[in-house]
Amino acid sequence: MRFVFITVGVLSELLLFVIIRQLYKTKKQPNVSIARILNAAFVAVLSNVIIAVSHVWYINIFSFSMYFVSMDFITYFMLCFTYIYTNRLRHLDMFKKIWHFVILIDSVSLFVSIFTGHMYSMYSMEIRDGSTAYQTLPTLLFNVHLALCYLPVIIAIVFLTISLVNSQGFYRFKYIPVLASVFVIVLLNIAYMYFSLPFDYSVLFYALAGLLLFYFALYYVPRKLMSNTLQLAVDSMKEGLLLFDTDQNCIYINKTARDTFNISKESFGFDDYPVGLWIRGRDRKKIGEFEDTFSMYIGTVPSKVRVDYRKCIDSKNRSMGSFFLFENVTEDYSMMESLKEARAEANRANAAKSLFLANMSHEIRTPINSILGMNEMILRESTDSKVLEYADDIRSSGNTLLSLINNILDFSKIESGKMEIHPIPYSVHQLIRESYNLVAPRAMIKDLPIVVKCAPDIPGKLYGDSERIKQVLVNLLTNSIKYTRQGQVTLEAEWIFGKQLKFVVSDTGQGISAEDTGKLFKMFQRINEEKNRTIEGTGLGLAISRELLNMMQGTISVSSVSGQGSEFTVMIPQTVIDAEPMGEFKLQKEPVSTRATYKESFHAPDAKVLVVDDVDLNLKLVAALLKKTQISLSLVNDGNKAVELCKEEDFDLILMDHMMPPPDGIETTRMIRDAGGHNAGIPVIMLTANAIEGSEETYLEMGFDDYLSKPIHSNDLEDTLSRLLPKEKVIK
């Protein structure tokens, strides 16, 4: 029978141990200390069971020793738990080794007492039912042992009390249940000693305290704190929250909802304001989820409220009720309206800027058109070498001025996001040759050689925007020529990584200091403004080049030493069209002359062209440029006169200026086409000084057949006319 009792006791405690282990095994600290408290309590309870059922002296005294040792461990791990739970880990680190040593000595002393009796002696006593029970008779050392047991409990109470006092009011709840659990040990031990019970039930009190600690520390307190925290979080939401059960009874209203509409769940229903307003017009039993913004009154203030209604569904797709989330968005709505107005104002300002650029382009390009056009006629017709030299200088300066204007317009295109990349198949050899030819005349004036070095393995044909690449190269070469007085400018090209075109433009010019390098690619920034005041430029060329390269996924970098020259490196990803290497690069023996001999590209003596422009000088210029083509020209300086003339005569083509006194070129063209007759279907070419991005597309969408920007280049003008005039009237 004794064996049965022992077995049942052991199995019961073992079952308790397994259950507790399962409960805490997925947790982190401080649960480890609680688990060890319960493990030690298991040993103590098992020892007491053996003491209660056994009448063999040596078994009982051994069990007493096991019991006393387990009490040391229970109190030690309770202290560890307290350190961890109150975030006093530094105390735990300080005293851990000391407590280990004390427990070791105490445990050894208890087991030695089996043979020496120096800590306690054991005697038997007869209890009321006649059976025999064993009791211990303590010595001074045993009282020290008891003190060691109670000391950690007292320390735990002190630390828990300090943490309770120092914590915020809301968070004190964390320590109160745990502190109460520790007090259970003290109170129940006092009760045990007061009643002098024959069986040491105090160990059960320790086990009970461990279970309470486990429950409060790892389950009840965290869930309670979470519940309270969630309550505070929900009440502090700027959104109002209304919860309804499946019968549409209000079960919860957060603080925002209560304060906004002065309502409480006890007196609030699904049909009450504002919910009734939100669901009005919907079937309340079949109401679907929705988001909407309502105009309503909050108190006496007209407001905008955004409402979100949702159903609550459990994991088995069963309805659990529903909720309303609402937010007062009156300020946001007002801000959005302000932003809309600000955006509209920005659009108006942008439109005004675009109009200003268009007007600026027109106003500046119109006189440049006349200057360069008339200068072209001097170059064509004069035979005086001195006059031709002067005219050549005029053309060079005029082209420089035009380049500056183009840079400003390119900057406007990039800033407005209207600059576009147009990739096409192109010849690398031709790209480099054209770039060289465009800058060679400027270098010739300064007697500055341009050295071109091209790797022969560059693929012959690539796919990319050759015009934008050329623009970048010309910008870099022009800069090098401008800032180099002697030495040379070098252009190197190679194909790297099997996918990138690399250009290096270097010079022996004045160079750039390290502190000025960062300013190079900024809009309207020029280096050494005072020193370089005689060198023309806007500070836009390099900035535009970098933006163009960014649009082509390319890069540009600079290496320079002040007084020794600069080196710009450009990398541009390109697609290979023809992998056949372009071979050795060859320039023309002589750079393109600035004074090319003019020769008309066609004759059209039977063609009749109407030219409409409000500036008489422009009419005179077009007549001069087309004189050798033998075209029959009718020149008018007013839109109304053009309309009347079209009613009287038939033309083959119309050159129409845009910016004229009413009616302008667009309105004049519309009136001619609306009048019907032969001239309603003839090609109309828009001649305009408006060269901002998108102008060509705009004019083509309006029904114009082509677009030419001023200043007019005679080659472009002749090419366009030969293409659009009736084929039978063009003689090449």
Domain with residue 620: its CATH number is 3.40.50.2300
- Angle at CA of residue 573, ends 580 and 423, nearest 5°: 80
Closest CA to 96 of 121, 76, 116, 123: 76
The number of angstroms, rounded, from the C-alpha of 472 to the middle of its chain's C-alpha atoms is 30
Give the mean pLDDT of 625-649. 93
For the entire predicted model, the pTM comes to 0.43
In this structure, what are the phi and psi dihedrals at residue 649, rounded to the nearest 5 degrees?
-125, 155
Mean pLDDT of 122-133: 63
Q: Do the domain assignments include residue 311?
A: yes
CB atoms within 10 A of CB 553: 11
Average model confidence (pLDDT) for the chain?
A: 79
**In which domain, by residue range, is 316 found?**
240-328
pLDDT category of residue 537 using cuts at 50, 70 and 90:
very low
Domain-located, residue 389: no
The token pair that represents 598 in the structure block: 């003019």
637 and 672 share one domain: yes
584-589, Cβ contacts within 8 angstroms, sequence gap of 24 or more: 584/454, 584/456, 585/429, 585/432, 585/452, 585/453, 585/454, 585/456, 585/493, 587/433, 587/436, 587/452, 588/433, 588/437
Provide mean pLDDT across the span 479-492: 90
Starting at the earlier edge strand, list the strands of the sheet with 459-464: 424-427, 459-464, 575-581
Worst-scoring range by mean pLDDT, 154-168, 278-292, 581-595?
A: 581-595
Asked if the structure places residue 368 within a domain, the reply is no
Report, as an integer, the average pLDDT of 228-247: 86
Q: What is the mean pLDDT of residues 261-278?
A: 83
Are 96 and 218 contained in the same domain? yes
pLDDT of residue 192: 67
The answer on pLDDT for 612 being more than 90 is yes
The answer to whether residues 169 and 277 belong to one domain is: no
pLDDT of residue 3: 61
User: Residue 17 sits in a domain of what CATH number?
Assistant: 1.20.1070
* Structure confidence at residue 529 as a pLDDT band (50, 70, 90): very low
pLDDT at 506 over 90: yes
Give the DSSP letter of residue 178.
Answer: H
Domain count, the chain: 4
- Is 178 found in the same domain as 102? yes
Mean pLDDT, residues 127-136: 63
The answer to which of 7-11, 88-92, 378-382, 467-471 has the lowest mean pLDDT is 7-11
Q: List, in sequence order, the alpha helices (H) in 465-615.
A: 466-482, 514-517, 541-551
Query: Do residue 250 and residue 220 come from a single domain?
Result: no
If pLDDT is split at 50, 70 and 90, which confidence band does 504 have?
A: very high
Task: Give the residue, 717 or 212, on which the prediction is more confident.
Answer: 717
Per-residue confidence at 571, pLDDT binned at 50, 70, 90?
very high
Please determine, for residue 682, whether its predicted confidence score (pLDDT) is greater than 90.
yes
* Domain end position, chosen among 232, 254, 281: 232
Q: Say if residue 88 is in the same domain as residue 15.
A: yes
Cβ pair 629, 604 in contact under 8 A? yes
Give the 3-state secondary structure of residue 593.
coil
Per-residue CA distances from 153 to 69, 96, 378 (Å): 16, 15, 112
- Strand 706-709 to 319-328 pairing: unpaired
Residue 593: what pLDDT? 44
Do 455 and 478 sit in the same domain of this protein? Answer: yes
pLDDT of residue 568: 92
Q: How far apart are CA 87 and CA 93, in angstroms?
A: 12
Instruction: Find the mean pLDDT for residues 407-435.
Output: 77
Considering the domain boundaries, does residue 390 fall inside one? no
| Most confident stretch, 99-103, 230-234, 261-265, 721-725 | 721-725
- My answer on whether 214 and 260 are in the same domain is no
Look at residue 415 and tell me if it is in a domain. Answer: no
Asked whether residue 198 carries a pLDDT value surpassing 70, the answer given is no
Residue 704 forms part of a structural domain: yes
Q: Please say if the pLDDT value at position 607 is more than 90.
A: yes
Q: Kindly state whether residue 403 falls inside one of the protein's structural domains.
A: no
The answer to whether residues 624 and 559 belong to one domain is no
Can you give the length of the chain in residues?
Answer: 732
CATH number for position 286:
3.30.450.20
Residues 6 or more apart in contact with residue 620 via CB below 8 angstroms: none
Is 227 in the same domain as 273? no
Q: Domain end: 209, 232, 255, which one?
A: 232
> What CATH number is attached to the domain comprising 503?
3.30.565.10
Cα dist from 509 to 282, 312, 487, 489, 567, whole Å: 79, 76, 8, 9, 10
Query: What would the two tokens of residue 585 be?
Result: 């690069």
Same domain, 490 and 518: yes
117: left (phi over 0), alpha (psi -120 to 50) or beta: left
Q: CB-based contacts of 229: which residues, under 8 Å, 6+ apart?
A: none
Residue 404: inside a domain: no
Share of the chain above pLDDT 70, in %: 79
Average pLDDT over residues 520-533: 54
The closest of 356, 555, 564 to 472, measured between CA atoms, is 555
Residues in CB range of 365: below 8 A, 6 or more apart? 402, 405, 689, 691, 709, 710, 711
For residues 315-321, average pLDDT: 85
Amino acid (1-letter code) at residue 190: I
Question: What's the number of CA atoms in the CB half-sphere (13 Å) around residue 269?
Answer: 4
In a shared domain, residues 227 and 278: no
End-of-domain residue from the set 197, 232, 267: 232
Q: Check residue 174 and report its DSSP letter.
A: G
